[in-house]
Amino acid sequence: MAVFTPITSEQLRDWLQPLNLGELVEFKGIASGIENSNFFVTLKQDGTNTDYVLTIFELLTPEQLPFYLELMQHLAIKGIPVPRPFADKNGTLFRPLAGKPACLVSKLAGSDTATPTPAHCASVGRVLAQMHLAGKDFNGTQPNLRGLDWWVMMESRVAEFLPDKIADLLRDEISEQQKFAQTAQYQSLPSGAGHCDLFVDNVLFATPDEPAFIDFYFAGVDKWLFDLAVTVNDWCIERSTGELLTEHFHAMMSAYHAVNPLTDADKAAWPMMLRAAALRFWISRLYDYYRTREAEMLTPKDPTHFERILLSRRAAHDNFLWI
Ligand SMILES: Nc1ncnc2c1ncn2[C@@H]1O[C@H](COP(=O)(O)OP(=O)(O)O)[C@@H](O)[C@H]1O
Ligand SMILES: N[C@@H](CCOP(=O)(O)O)C(=O)O
């Protein structure tokens, strides 16, 4: 369903050749993706079969891809559990396949969880902190392309579809976030390469203590605290209301803090950062809902989920949970 670009064995064999990773045994499309075409690929080298993941990029441009792939390569080399992209002998990480850029990465063990426990939250918090620290010497500079400028641009494209009260909420939150981004407090927060979309469907677990992060194609340089807020807003919530679950929250935050300590400045910025993280996905879901792209064959994700989360974080602004 979500293989937007079909390929033949011949095309794939030719494409794989410069990677020198062995003979093609089999490949099959992965149904669950919504952004790219993904395939599991099995290659045989010296009598041993190894599984990989092939991604054909449907929307990302060759200008954007080096940041994502080089970040994954950097993190994987440092031992962070993320897919490792394979380069040809010239160091090239992506090449055209069926007319679109494509790359091959390592296949990670495990599966995602629909019902995160505090133990899952703790391990995700720990590895997120390790990932932030491991990215400190990564030299890519591409910003989070789904940041404040993008929110402002998208607001003008979705507001016309919304009832007045909801459009007012959207406009008001963007304006609050613009003011927040100008503060010395915001600007003093540490930034670096972040995943920026570390939702439950982007983490695979071999065991609850061994998370692996996939799908880095919204990654970018942003405040570390924003990345943590995005993660908390999806992992530590009661799904139907969006309210934070205290035990899940403390498990994730304490585990993050133990590796990459949070400061008083982080605490002061936290309520606005949780709101920013909710706003980012509210806007992208509104955009997908009202302006679904042509190639999209899946049902757009529910924007009202993040409207509820935003309202909940605004209501808790002066009385928020912290570690
Ligand atoms: N490196 C990987 N190792 C193991 N499974 C993977 C890997 N990359 C993707 N997958 C599988 O493919 C599915 C879709 O991948 P994803 O990157 O989330 O696609 P999309 O960005 O299009 O939503 C994931 O849910 C996972 O099951
Ligand atoms: N996590 C986002 C959508 C991004 O899609 P992904 O499948 O590439 O993670 C959301 O839930 O709105």
Alpha helices in the chain (DSSP H): 9-16, 65-77, 118-134, 148-158, 164-182, 184-187, 224-235, 246-259, 264-290, 303-315
ipTM of the complex in this document: 0.95
Verify whether ligand 1 is closer than 6 Å to residue 51 (CB atom).
no
Residue type, 219: A
> Whose C-alpha lies nearest to ligand 1, atom 15?
33
Tell me which residue has tokens 């390790």.
130
Task: Write the single-letter amino acid at 67.
Answer: F
Domains of the chain: 9-106 (3.30.200.20), 118-315 (3.90.1200.10)
Q: What are phi and psi of 191, to 5 degrees?
A: -125, 165
* pLDDT tens for each residue of the chain, 323 residues long: 467 899 999 999 999 999 999 999 999 999 877 789 999 999 999 999 999 999 999 999 999 999 999 999 999 999 999 999 999 999 999 999 999 999 999 999 999 999 999 999 999 999 999 999 999 999 999 999 999 999 999 999 999 999 999 999 999 999 999 999 999 999 999 999 999 999 999 999 999 999 999 999 999 999 999 999 999 999 999 999 999 999 999 999 999 999 999 999 999 999 999 999 999 999 999 999 998 765 445 678 999 999 999 999 999 999 999 99
Residue nearest to atom 20 of ligand 1 (CA): 33
DSSP code, position 159: G
Ligand 1 lined by 83 (C-beta under 6 Å): yes
301 lines ligand 2 (CB under 6 A): yes
Given the CA of residue 30, which atom of ligand 1 is nearest to it? 12
Report CA(2)–ligand 1 centroid distance (Å): 11
Give the global pTM.
Answer: 0.96
> What residue's CA is closest to ligand 1, atom 2?
107
Please work out whether the CB of residue 281 comes within 6 Å of at least one atom of ligand 2.
Answer: yes
Closest alpha carbon to 55 in 98, 1, 9: 98
Verify whether ligand 1 is closer than 6 Å to residue 35 (CB atom).
yes
* 56 pocket-lining for ligand 1 (C-beta < 6 Å): no
Strand ranges inside 80-141, DSSP E: 95-97, 100-106
